[in-house]
Amino acid sequence: MAKGRKRAVQEKTKDLLLAFGLLVVGIVALIVINASTEETSIASAAALTYAAMPTIYAWVLIALVALFMATTLRAMWVERLAVQRDEEDDTVAPGDEAQGDVETLGVRRKTILLRIWGTLVVLLAYVLLLEYVHFMILTTLFLLVMFLVFGQRSIKKIAAVSICGGAAFYFLFIYILKTPI
């Protein structure tokens, strides 16, 4: 089976999802700016009002994204035909050989995904707690948890680097630069 081609189709599907998101942004921008009841503060006889440029940009974005979706769909269609042809011919497409250790690749992808989500969750927690917990303690804890999320396992080393890091940040930003955090 032409796994390389199937992967290409999957990639294009992700492109389409992003394009759909951008299309929604363009449409929402168009609706919001033209539904706005804002009073202009300064009288102007200019050809372009406050809503003109956002409207132009939103239309251009919608048009470009539509074009992108059309070209992506066309490429997907070609890939799908190729997949069907490969399946009928039972040929091995280039890229199949690279699929050697699919299981290991899957585990690695899962680890990366977990680390990305872990990073976002820990970062958000860090930011939300900044107003409530002492900066040095929170930063030390943040570094400690992040090292664990990124796969470090030497507790002594993690603790030493986190404490030194937290102290260094505190000294530089709070003590020297007087950051009002």
Partner 1 sequence: MIEGLIGGFASILGPLNLLLLFAGTAMGIMVGALPGLSSPMAIIVLLPLTYSMETLPALLTMMGVYVGTKLGGSYSAILLRTPGTPAGACTALDGYPMAQRGQAGLALGYATMGSTCGGIFGWILAVTCVPMLASLAVKSSNADIALIGILGLVMVSAFVRGSMLRGLIGVTLGLLIATVGLDPIQATSRFTFGSYNLMSGVPFAAALVGFFGIAVVLSDIKMIGRRSHMIITDITLALPTWKDLVKRWQCIVIGGLYGTGIGAIPGVGAEISPWIAWATVRNKSKTPEKFGTGIPEGVLTPEATNNANTGGTMVPMLALGIPGDGSTAIMLGAMVLHGLEPGVTLMKNSGDIVYGILAGLLVSTMFMFLISWRAIRYFILVLKQDRSWLFPFILVLATLGAFLTMNTLFPVFIAITFGVVGYIFESRNFPVVTVVLGIILGPIVEENIRLALALSNNNWTTFVATWPRQVMVAAIVGLLAYEVYKGLTSKPAARKRGISPKPITSQGKEDKK
- Does 141 sit near partner 1 (CB under 8 A)? no
Which one of 20, 27, 35, 64 is in contact with partner 1 (CB under 8 A)? 64
Pick 103 or 139: Cβ nearer partner 1: 139
User: Can residue 50 be called a binding residue for partner 1 (CB under 8 A)?
Assistant: yes
d(Cα 136, Cα 38) in Å, to the nearest integer?
45
Longest CA–CA span in the chain (Å) reads: 71
Nearer to partner 1, 102 or 123 (CB): 123
Is 147 a binder of partner 1 (CB under 8 A)? yes
Q: By CB under 8 A, is residue 71 in contact with partner 1?
A: yes
Q: Is 88 exposed, middle or buried (0-12, 13-18, 19+ CB in 10 A)?
A: exposed
Site string for partner 1, 85-124 (x = CB under 8 A): --------xxx----------------x--xx--xx--xx
* CA–CA distances in Å: residue 163 to residues 147, 167, 179: 12, 6, 20
Is residue 82 a contact point for partner 1 (CB under 8 A)?
yes
Determine if 136 is a binding residue for partner 1 (CB under 8 A).
no
CA distance 151 to 149: 5
Q: Of 90, 73, 78, 74, which is closest to residue 2 (Cα–Cα)?
A: 90
Q: How far is the CB of 169 from partner 1 (least distance, A)?
A: 6
Taking the complex as a whole, the smallest distance from the CB of residue 70 to partner 1 amounts, in Å, to: 10
Please report whether residue 75 would count as binding partner 1 according to CB under 8 A.
yes
Q: Which of 1, 14, 24, 155 binds partner 1 (CB under 8 A)?
A: 14
Tell me if 48 contacts partner 1 by CB under 8 A.
yes
CB under 8 Å to 66, separation ≥6 — which residues?
23
Alpha-carbon radius of gyration of the chain = 26
